[in-house]
Structure 1
Amino acid sequence: MEKHDQGFMRKQNKLTVFEIIKNHQPISRATIAKMTGMSPTTISRIVGELTEQGYLRNSDQISGGLGRKSTLLGMANASVLSVGVELDRSVMSVGIVDLQGKLVASGKFDRTPDESPDRTIVRIGEAIDGLAKRESIDMTRIVGIGVGLPGIVNNDEGVVVFSVQLGWKDVPLAEKLKEVTGYEIAVDNELKVRALAEHLKGAAAGSTRTALLGFGHGVGSAIILEGEIYRGVMNSAGEIGHTTVDPSGMMCECGKAGCLQTYININSLLAEANRIRPVGTIEELFEARRAGEHWAVHLIERAFMYMAITINNVVCMYNPDSVILSGELVDKFPEIYDEVQQLYLSRYVWMPLRGSFSFLRSQLDERGVMIGSGLLSQNRFFALE
């Protein structure tokens, strides 16, 4: 086993205690010692350091039986803030997140599909300044910025390797955004940070093997195993939208034919709808379905079928205990969850695996990427500290 120096172990112990207090507050020193196996002296030293840094506050006292009362510890939630950013083709969402993953301020900003990386980066800085002024937020409490976006991301370097939806390739986003804002930057795939948020603060709390599926302008998945994001060699694990369903099928915007997402994503659905009649938005397409227009019924129900097939494929590959449905389509049309669950899962999920997983809807909906990105930034900050 690799030997760690004393400084590394002290840092790991401090991070462990911090996470226990964060997730189990209010909590006593004695309980922390019991949970970690550390000595009371070590716990007192770490708690003292965290209190001095402004991260902890003493809560009410509780009786410790016949002995003296124990002071409960809790987080000073506003002591550390981070910024979570979601970038999509036509919208930019920016939120300020506290230690408990709560959005204390947020805003949505339009962006054009062809907006350059440099322009987007400047606008992120402007949005953060605007939110902080609007809500009178102390900027010195912000420890970093997390950004979630569609595509393949080198999360170690903060480089957007390739994003079809944004039209970006080899963009050193972390480096450039740090130059503009001065903050440390964490960049990751949007579904990975959304899955992290659902695991820590949403539908998958308590799950040990979570699969999150996202359906919107793209199709993708993310896996959380024992609390950690499963990444693969290039951090591209979960890019199920570009698996080939039909080699003779429709052309995908990635340049390949027959990708799974061409049967489900918003742009493909609208492109097919417009072969019948002009349809400007996905809301119009669903309205046509509600009106009983046969072609609209066919397009949407075919999309539901492929959603169920996607769920089956992910369940067969990863055998998760929880599957979460998320993304812009599900956020806009919550009925998708019920229809897929009631009408399609029994047809397309492999029989031995039916009932082996909880099928959940996202609890954090459109806030998920902002919250997950903000928490990712906080995790990076405390790990470095």
Structure 2
Amino acid sequence: MKKHDQDFMKRQNRLTVFEMIKNHHPISRASIAKRTGMSPTTVSRIVGELTEQGYLLNSEQVSAGLGRKSTLLGMVNASVLAVGVELDRTRMSIGVVDLQGNMVCSGKYPRVPEESAEQTLMHIGAAMEELVQQHTIDRTRIVGIGVGLPGIVDNEKGVVLFSVQLGWRNVALAEQLKELTGFEIAVDNELKVKALAEQLKGAAVGSSCTALLGFGNGVGSALILDGEIYRGVMNSAGEIGHTTVDPNGTMCECGKTGCLQTYINISSLLAEANRIRPVGTIEELFEARQAGERWAVQLIERALIYMAITINNVVCMYNPDSVILSGELIDKFPDICDEVEQLYFSRFVWEPLRASFAFRRSMLSEEGVMIGSGLLSQNRFFALA
């Protein structure tokens, strides 16, 4: 047990030093020791290992005042690559990211909603190989694959416990995808990995408590507290789309009635629209609104009201310093963020809290889940290495 604890602490220390350099480079060994509370000897040992393995580089020595010069440490961004995958109902997006979460290359691929988990995983493997070969990526530098998807995920075991949008239950995704590709696999909820990306290089940089909300094919949220994702007991914290807002409301695809997402998500909006006339895409619905068709105006206005209600509920529960809106609806129609803020904050966001948080749109847009999934895979690699 003692050896196990020592090994765990060594891995944690290594990951802490790695994250410190990645997020604050260029940085000196002395500064790392001061910020982390580790001894200079421990920091030097870990830095030596990471440098020897080709992950770090030493920059020119700089002098801070009259003291001795310090060598600043930086990252070799291209030394490690990871594949980030976003799975959704009708498509999958695959990208290769470097140590800083920069997108090296990416591609989008269709997914048939009715296909099985096994078929989807085979498509991921084939598309990844195609992407790597097409862009001449050095496969030996890829340390793993991260997958972000909607639903409840056992992130430790890599099992998809339940995903309404994908129609999956108890899918051992990490185990099966590793068999297909040979890479280590990390799996998590899509908004949680997107929150990781926003924390590193997006709208949540510098925030100590951020609520990320996703509005698209589903409705969900993720909470970042002091740089860490709040997960809950089952890693299901943030499934706000399935909170009940009207027990006599519309039937949700999860099997309950009156779920919040039935008033906001794309499939529900289209189902309502088709009761009036045939509408095939969310773009057509917004075009009808733009044209002044009253039913479309009312339908989207109701969705915006429930977005404001969602923001109010999250702000009241968690008191974040920033709220980030993301998801397909926000990416395709960014102006609705301004509409929600200007038209509905005064009505639905509790007055004492209106000025307590910054209201932002995701800076990473459609790349956020791929970047976050790739970074998740890298974190897993450095924690276990």
Per the alignment, residue 201 of structure 1 pairs with: 201
Q: 2-side partners of 1:84 and 1:123: how far apart?
A: 14
Looking at structure 1, the residues matched to 93 and 111 of structure 2 have their Cα atoms a distance apart, in angstroms, of: 10
User: What SS does structure 1 have at the residue aligned with 2:231?
Assistant: coil
Alignment of 1:82-97 (within 5 A): 82-97=82-97
Q: Secondary structure at the match of 1:74?
A: strand
Give deviations 1:357-381, integer Å, cap 9, x for gaps.
Answer: 1111100011111111111111111
Residue correspondence of structure 1 range 215-234 to structure 2 within 5 A: 215-234=215-234
Q: Greater CA deviation, 60-69 or 339-348?
A: 60-69
Corresponding residue of 1:285:
285
Question: Any conservation in 1 of the 2:144–2:185 contact (CA below 8 Å)?
Answer: yes
- CA–CA distance in structure 2, aligned partners of residues 320 and 367 of structure 1: 24
- Aligned counterparts of 1:54 and 1:66: Cα–Cα separation in 2: 32
Task: Please give the alpha-carbon distance, in whole angstroms, between the structure 2 residues aligned to 1:225 and 1:35.
Answer: 18
Contact 2:148–2:193 under 8 Å retained in 1: yes
Q: Deviation at 1:143?
A: 1.0
Q: How many pairs were matched up?
A: 384
2: CA distance between counterparts of 1:254 and 1:8? 39
Which residue of 1 is the match for residue 26 of structure 2?
26
For structure 1, which segment, 107-116 or 56-65, has the greater mean C-alpha deviation from structure 2 after superposition? 56-65
The corresponding residue for 1:273 is 273
Note the C-alpha offset of 1:278.
1.0
1:130 is aligned to 130
Paired position in structure 2 for 1:262 = 262
In 2, Cα distance between the equivalents of 1:315 and 1:68?
A: 48
Mean CA deviation greater in 192-201 or 179-188: 192-201
Partners of 1:64 and 1:86 lie apart in 2 by 44
Compared CA separation, residues 154 and 38, structure 1 to 2 (3 A): closer
State the secondary structure of the residue aligned to 1:337.
helix
Task: Give the superposed CA RMSD.
Answer: 1.7
State the distance in 1 between where 2:271 and 2:258 align.
Answer: 15
Deviation at 1:14, TM superposition (A): 2.5
> In the alignment, is residue 309 of structure 1 matched against residue 309 of structure 2?
yes
User: Which amino acid in structure 1 is aligned with residue 329 of structure 2?
Assistant: L
C-alpha distance 336-7 of structure 1, shift in aligned 2 (>3 A): same
Change (3 A) 1:261 1:38: closer
Aligned equivalents of 1:269, 1:381: Cα separation in 2: 41
Match of 1:102 in 2: 102
Residue type of the partner of 1:187? V
Determine the C-alpha separation between the residues in 2 that align with 1:5 and 1:91.
Answer: 42
Q: 1:234 to 1:66 in 2, by over 3 A?
A: closer
List per-residue Cα deviations over 1:324-347 (Å, max 9, x = no partner).
100000000010111011111121
- 1:1-385 correspondence to structure 2 within 5 Å: 5-66=5-66, 69-385=69-385
Assess, with a 3 A threshold, how the Cα gap between structure 1 residues 61 and 214 changes in structure 2: closer, same or farther.
same
> Quick one: which amino acid aligns to residue 358 of structure 2?
S
Q: 1:319 to 1:3 in 2, by over 3 A?
A: farther
Residue 71 (structure 1) shift:
2.5
Percentage identity across paired residues of the two chains: 78
Q: 1:141 to 1:260 in 2, by over 3 A?
A: same
Q: Distance in 2 between matches of 1:193 and 1:235?
A: 12
Match for 1:14: what amino acid?
R
Residue 6 of structure 1: CA displacement? 4.2
SS of equivalent to 2:93? strand
Q: Deviations over 1:210-242 (max 9, x none)?
A: 111100011111111122211112211111111
Letter of the 1:298 counterpart: Q
Once the two structures are TM-superposed, the CA of residue 68 in structure 1 deviates from its matched residue by 5.2
Write the distance in 2 (CA, Å) between the matches of 1:231 and 1:200.
18
Range moving further from structure 2, 67-76 or 224-233: 67-76
Structure 1 residue 5, shift from structure 2 partner: 4.8
Distance 2:361 2:247 in 1: 31
CA distance 1:121–1:246, shift in 2 (3 Å): same
CA offsets per residue over residues 92-132 of structure 1, 9 Å max, x none?
00011111011111100011111111111111111111111
Partner of 1:223: helix, strand, or coil? strand
Residue 235 of structure 2 aligns to which amino acid in structure 1?
Answer: N
Relative distance call for 1:32 and 1:124 in structure 2 (3 A) is same
Tell me which amino acid in the other structure corresponds to 2:183.
Y
Deviation at 1:31, TM superposition (A): 2.5
The amino acid of 1:345's aligned partner reads: F
Letter in 2 for 1:55: Y
Moved over 6 A (4+): none
State the secondary structure of the residue aligned to 2:162: strand
Identify which range, 315-324 or 9-18, moves more after superposition: 9-18
Over 3 Å counting, the alpha-carbon distance change for 1:79 and 1:172 in structure 2 is same
Q: Could you list the runs of 5+ residues in structure 2 that have no partner in the other structure?
A: none
Name the SS for the 2:345 alignment partner: helix
Residues 94 and 370 of structure 2 are in contact (CA less than 8 Å); yes or no, is this contact kept in structure 1?
Answer: yes
- Gaps in structure 1 of 5+ consecutive residues: none
* Larger displacement relative to structure 2 (116-125 or 23-32): 23-32
3-state SS of paired residue (1:236) = coil
Q: Offset at 1:306?
A: 0.3
Residues in 1 aligned to 2:149 and 2:6: alpha-carbon distance in whole angstroms: 38
Deviates more, 1:273-282 or 1:228-237: 228-237
SS at match of 1:78: helix
